Structure 1
Amino acid sequence: MKRLSTITLALAALHTAQADPQGVTEDNLPLFHQALKERMTFPLAYEGGDPSTWRERVLPEVRASILPYTASRPFDAKLIDEVDRGSFVARRIAFNVTDESRITALLLVPKGEGPFPAALMLHDHGSRFDIGKEKWIAPWYDEQRLSSATEWAARFFSGRFPGEELAERGYVVLAADALGWGDREGNGYEAQQALAANLFNLGSSLAGLIALEDVRAAAFLTELPDTDPNRVAAVGFSMGAFRAWQVAALSPHISATVANAWMAQAKGLMVPGNNQLRGQSAFNMLHPSLLQLLDFPDVAALAAPAPMLVYAGEEDTLFPPSAVEGAMARMHDVWRAHGAEEHLTTRLWEDKGHVFTADMQDAAFEWLDAQLR
């Protein structure tokens, strides 16, 4: 009897001392997310010493974390059609971007004698899926897409098509659709989660596949006869900026990078109200094990000491300025350690939101000219 009473009292004490259940916030963060943040120590981040040795040690692990496999299928490029646009020729081509996927792309080639510097243009997300490559280059083959692309250019690019701006400057320009956009359009915003889950179950990931295709597109651009293989840039806006500094880290073919409107420290993005918590679009930039290794600015810094430009808007609600500035400072540490801090240009633009306006483009492209000419 005495033992039963003791057990009863112990259970009663346990009941009264029970903690509140640790559930989920309205932003779908676990209530214990701060404790999980403290576990994020980024063990492979640069912490001083020889940055080249750090890169040699870390890059293979980052590649293994991001890329699902190494593609080797011949590109086998074919011309679909082309139009004359004055100082350059605009071509629609098809090539094998991976061992499984053959895609269409837009290729702009300046007139005159090459080889020319080149730019791999990496499009944004924007929850707009009917256009991908057309966000950079005005299509001549589809009136509806031209209407969508013109609207997009007015909203984000001061009415310009930045790919064509670079072609006018004498660059070979390549733009292709990521899986889910343009010619590869999926089933809408809400279907991204299912696509990502299915790719996880296929031993891959949506973000990893996009990264693999970008690495392959860089190699393809480098091999084109009009391209100078030593002067190939990655240029991106928003999600495309993420892709730009990512491919610069992963590919030996990228010699300079322009990344506008996607750079921040991960912990600064994982805060209530941030777009990163919405799911869906985040799957396109979600590598499941990457943040167990290192933070976003350290991934970008694997491209050092090659030239890189990183812009952000001070009024961009998607990227808190403190997280952006912290990331930029981390990157400067690595370029400085290489003795090449002058090769890294960062700027938080006043009175700018999530845009790549004409003045931002002009400054970025003049910087790129100075690096590659």
Structure 2
Amino acid sequence: MRSIVAVLLIVVGLFTANAPTRGQADASPGPRLPRVVLVGDSIRLGYAPRVAERLSGKAVVVSSPENGGDSANVLAHLDEWVVRQKPDVVHLNCGLHDLKRAKQDGRHQVEINGYIDNLRKIVARIREATDAALVFADTTPILDERHARRGGDFDRIEADVKRYNSAAITAMRDLGVPVHDLHWVVEQGAPETMLGPDGTHYTPAGSDRLSEAVADCVLRQVTVHRYRPLPRPASGPEAAVEYRKTEAQRDALVPEAYRRLKFGEFRIPADAGAWKEQRPKILQTVVDSLGDLPPRPSPPRARIISRELRPGYTLEKIALSNGVDGEVSALMLVPEGRKASMPAILWLHSSTPDKTQVIIPGTNGGAESLGETFVRAGYAVLSPDAYWHGDRAGTGPSGTAESGRTEQEDLFKLNLWLGRTLWGMFVRDDQVALDYLCSRPEVDVSRIGATGISMGSTRAWWLAAVDERVAAVVAVACLTRYQNLIAHGELRAHGVYYFANGLLRHFDSEGVLALIAPRPFLALTGDLDAGSPADGVRALERSVGGAYKALGMGDRFRSILYPEVGHVYTPEMRAEMLAWFERWLRP
């Protein structure tokens, strides 16, 4: 009933502090949905209802039925339209009315200096009165000839759009506000077909395309704004004592039959010649353990959904067809102003939360987001979603009826029926992402690194094992020798996605890791990490390190086992990771 009331309020042109846009009354039980406020002119009025539909169940979209007009009018109504709504995210768009040029005297409705001054005041007021994440959307294109034919006492021209946008982008960069580049979205989507007869407003299809970009942008801001880290695992001397005690108790519970299991053994090669003979069979065994994987799309099929201009870099949201069951959603970060081809990092997320963590501050061992640290150092970054994470949640065999562990288990079951493993499909999707990264003209394909923490760590070293395009690897907080995991009764430490078929009949994970040689590999693990038992890490150091030494490349393998540290990404690990990539990817 409240949803119907919300629709009626908008239709009759009323607006109150609690009236969301069409169908978005927050009447659902459970945790409060985030509130997203859309501010803008008639272009916003075209896409807002569609944004609300796209975010149904994910956010309450608040959009005034009034045309926001120019920046002075937005500033005058800011408390009514924004502050009183107590927003989590504000998507601000104004400029189209400011740049209107009167035919009588050639003056703009708001001259550019006044426009920028108003924008600065708007940003200051939103920051002063709310804790909302703010994103500014630039002005969409004008088709000059069509607009000129409409008549009227004012005109708009594309040259002014670009001039006002340029000034606004500079101001937002100074203020640390990301710019949602709607102008670019339209330019890439063929403005001649997206724009209507007046050269300013959009066809239904054009408004729908804008709504896709806006919904994507604001949902990303919501994810970053509302992110709360998991409790930090215990570390230190007392934690170490408790860990050893618990480990001993669990070891004692493992039945004798599982302790006596026999596993295949990896033979450390005697020299480079022995490894050349040994490697093809090991590689085939590892690939076979993933199952009968479908071929990947060639060439890569990708579409860019949205683009943001951020201080020092451009962020793109990309959808990559995996050619089987949908799209791999990903974020691409490209440093600003780079001319020559650059090294790149394929950053692979853990089980929480998703690709977006690469731009979340206070994660991955540092105050600055890891993605921003990478781009400041000169790397392009691609961060893809794994199955049931991020935009891929609710896209499994039962659609939106399932998510999380249920979706994971159903994907695991389905892929077994189809003769392949879910882990194999993980690796394949990461290869799809790598295919795309290699297709980007900015990227030096000889200098691509892969890294991640936890699940992302394992994704990185498995990918590098089967795909030699990965030039260097850093594995953080997940270097697991599988038989040691069994011996300590810790199979529960990993989800069902993690397992490959028949591998232990031939060798343990050292066979997988040795395939990376002689490419540089760094492992960073806490010795209180139950998912990567320390005795297993030491065994891997001996066997994998031995393979590197046999090739005369002992300096390209390094493993650090941090004492009294749990399953965590520490600042020390982050520093080691950055130094490793600096050494091997930027000669």
**Amino acid paired to 1:328:** E
Kept after mapping to 2: 8 A contact 1:133/1:177: yes
Q: Distance in 2 between matches of 1:258 and 1:172?
A: 16
Q: Contact 2:315–2:332 (CA<8 Å) still a contact in 1?
A: yes
Q: Distance in 2 between matches of 1:173 and 1:204?
A: 29
Does the aligned pair in 1 maintain the 2:291–2:424 contact within 8 Å?
yes
Asked if the contact 2:329/2:392 (under 8 Å) is kept, the reply is no
The one-letter code of the counterpart of 2:358 is W
Q: How far apart are residue 46 of structure 1 and its match? A: 3.8
Q: CA deviation at 1:249?
A: 0.7
Distance (whole Å) between structure 1 residues aligned to residue 500 and residue 288 of structure 2: 11
Q: Are residue 180 (structure 1) and residue 180 (structure 2) matched? A: no
Report if aligned partners of 1:136, 1:175 keep a CA contact under 8 Å in 2. Answer: yes
Matched residues, percent identical? 27
The equivalences for 1:182-221 within 5 A come to 182-186=390-394, 187-221=403-437
> Separation in 2 of the partners of 1:365 and 1:253?
19
1:40 paired residue among 263, 270, 282: 263
Instruction: Say if 2:317 is the partner of 1:95.
Output: no
The change in CA–CA distance for 1:41 and 1:67 in structure 2 (over 3 A counts) is: closer
Instruction: Provide Cα deviations, 1:81-135, integer angstroms capped at 9, x if missing partner.
Output: 111222211111122234443222100011221311001011112xx4xx31012
Residues 474, 577 of structure 2: 8 Å contact kept? yes
Instruction: Tell me, in whole angstroms, the C-alpha distance in 1 between the residues paired with 2:538 and 2:406.
Output: 32
Structure 1 residue 257 displacement after superposition: 0.4
Residue in 2 that maps onto 1:20: none
Name which of structure 1's ranges 49-58 and 211-220 shifts more when overlaid on structure 2: 49-58
1:119 aligns with 345
Residue 39 of structure 2: aligned partner: none
Q: C-alpha separation between the residues in 2 aligned to 1:343 and 1:77?
A: 34
How much does 1:214 deviate? Answer: 1.2
Distance 1:33 1:96 in 2: 42
Report the counterpart of residue 227 of structure 1 in structure 2. 443
In the alignment, is the contact (CA less than 8 A) between 1:265 and 1:297 conserved in 2? yes
Per-residue CA deviations over 1:213-255 (Å, capped at 9, x if unaligned) read: 1122222211211100100011111111111111111112101
Instruction: Give the deviation of 1:272 after TM superposition.
Output: 4.4
The Cα shift of 1:317 comes to 3.0
Q: Distance in 2 between matches of 1:90 and 1:199?
A: 33
C-alpha distance in structure 2 between counterparts of 1:354 and 1:79, whole Å: 35
Q: How many residues align?
A: 325
* 1:34 positional shift: 2.1
**What does residue 357 of structure 2 align with?**
135
> How do 1:289-368 residues align onto structure 2 when only pairs under 5 Å count?
289-368=502-581
Q: Structure 1: which 5+ residue stretches go unaligned?
A: 1-24, 139-149
Judging changes above 3 Å, is the alpha-carbon distance between structure 1 residues 224 and 302 closer, same or farther for their aligned structure 2 residues?
same
Pair 312,98 (structure 1): closer, same or farther in 2 beyond 3 Å: farther
- Give the AA of the match of 1:92: K
CA distance in 1, matches of 2:423, 2:322: 15
Matched, 1:77 2:302: yes
Report how far residue 73 of structure 1 moved: 4.0
2:285 aligned with 1:61: yes
Q: Is the 8 A contact 1:264 1:297 kept in 2?
A: no
Q: How far is the alpha carbon of 1:271 from its aligned partner?
A: 2.8
Distance in 2 (alpha carbons) for counterparts of 1:163 and 1:256: 17
Between the aligned partners of 1:267 and 1:60, the Cα distance in structure 2 is 21
Structure 2 residue identity aligned to 1:239: M
Q: Relative CO higher for 1 or 2, CA cutoff 8 Å, sep ≥ 6?
A: 1
State the one-letter code of the partner of 1:77: A
Equivalent position of 2:469 in the other structure: 253
- Cα deviation per residue 1:9-57 (whole Å; 9 max; x = unaligned)? xxxxxxxxxxxxxxxx99997652123x2x2123x64453422222123
| Corresponding letter in the other structure for 1:188 | G
Query: 1:145-160, aligned counterparts within 5 Å?
Result: 153-154=362-363, 157-160=365-368
Q: Does 58-67 or 223-232 show the bigger shift?
A: 58-67
Q: Which residue of 1 aligns with 2:372?
A: 164
Q: Runs of 5+ in structure 2 lacking a partner?
A: 1-249, 395-402
Conserved? CA contact 1:255–1:306, under 8 Å: yes
**Cα contact 1:73–1:98 (8 A) shared by 2:** no
- Quick one: structure 1 residues 290 and 45, their matched pair in 2 at CA, closer, same or farther if it must change by over 3 Å? farther
2:345 counterpart letter in structure 1: A
Q: Does the 8 Å contact 2:346/2:381 carry over to 1?
A: yes
